[in-house]
Amino acid sequence: MNLKQLDYFVHVAELGSFSKAALVLDVAQPALSRQVRGLETELRESLFLRNGRGVALTDAGKRLFDHSVAILRLVAHAREDLGKRRDEALGHVTVGLPPSMGRQLTLPLIDRFRQQFPAARLAIVEGLSTHIVEWITSGRVDIGLAYNPEAQSGLEITPLLEEPLELVSFSPKGKRERAGQRPLAMKELPRYPLIVPERAHSMRRLLENQAALAGIELDIAWEVSSIPSIIDLVCAGYGHAVLTATGVVASTRAGELIARKLVNPTPLSVLCLVNSSHKRPTTLARRTLPLLTALVQELSN
């Protein structure tokens, strides 16, 4: 097994096609296929399932993909650390963002990153908070924002923004009426059919924990992973949602919604900055941390 094989394997996995990977890597497709076959022969595992549309990872391929991304990231960090002066913000950094934050932070983050670190490269990936924490642990992501992450060894977690959960409902005049809505007691929440994300979503876990503490049973009408899709369903009259203010603002349909703060108790969603405490960060990663922190703080002002 060598780094070239792992690099070729990761490109094929990410692009879902040998032909596309060969174009990106600027290598002949037969040479690319030989490298991947050599990897499969050495590991005695099939890494890809071939189909008419391209390729998909097998279970073994998925496990190797996580290892490969982490290995290649560590090698890149080693080269940056040894090949550049330690006080320079050069190289590559990967930032993980939840979708609601991605919509609001991607453009300003890239703008400021380009201004402050013109010689460096930035990659932004979006995913659920649980996935971002996993990616940071595995080394696929350097820095991330995550909602309500669980404390665990190996992670540095810094709270940045606390937001109360709100019951979000459809109203054609929502933009004008939003400020005047009275709070809603948690004990009243079972009266509203809810559209919620799946159980892996941090917002769902927080809501169900608070409901259990309040001794109530939620009326779950629909489970939908995407927050924008949840908002579309709310606007179509399929039910209500429980979201934060930033989640509503990130939607293009915020003007059609009204929001009522949940009280007695008030569930708080906490957005945190997360990075590894076991791996020495590069200079670029260290200098990206305050940049990301400042952008989140500006959202709350």
Are 138 and 69 contacting, i.e. CB atoms less than 8 angstroms apart? yes
Give the pLDDT band of residue 87 (cuts 50, 70, 90).
Answer: low
User: Whose CA is closest to 147, among 132, 136, 135, 134?
Assistant: 132
Give residue limits of the domains in the chain.
1-74, 84-161+270-301, 166-266
Predicted confidence (pLDDT) at residue 83 exceeds the cutoff of 70 = no
1-74 and 84-161+270-301 agree in CATH topology: no
Predicted confidence (pLDDT) at residue 52 exceeds the cutoff of 90 = no
Rounded Cα distance, 231 and 239, in Å: 10
CATH class of 84-161+270-301: alpha beta
Write down the pLDDT at residue 169. 92
Q: What is the mean pLDDT of residues 160-182?
A: 75
Q: What is the mean pLDDT of residues 109-130?
A: 91
Give the pLDDT band of residue 178 (cuts 50, 70, 90).
Answer: very low
Fold of 166-266: D-Maltodextrin-Binding Protein; domain 2 (3.40.190)
CA 93 to chain centre: 15
Write down the pLDDT at residue 85. 58
Give the pLDDT band of residue 62 (cuts 50, 70, 90).
Answer: very high
Which segment of 2-16, 28-42, 172-186, 236-250 scores lowest on mean pLDDT?
172-186
Q: What is the mean pLDDT of residues 165-174?
A: 82
Fold of 1-74: Arc Repressor Mutant, subunit A (1.10.10)
Question: Mind listing the pLDDT tens digit for each residue in 240-271?
Answer: 999 888 888 777 787 888 889 999 888 888 99
pTM of the model: 0.66
Report whether the peptide linkage leading into residue 265 is cis, meaning its omega lies within 30 degrees of zero. Answer: yes
In 49-78, which positions are buried (b, 16+ CB within 10 angstroms) versus exposed (e)?
A: eeeeebbebeeebeebbeebbbbbbeeebe
Write down the pLDDT at residue 159. 94
User: Whose CA is closest to 123, among 97, 101, 92?
Assistant: 92
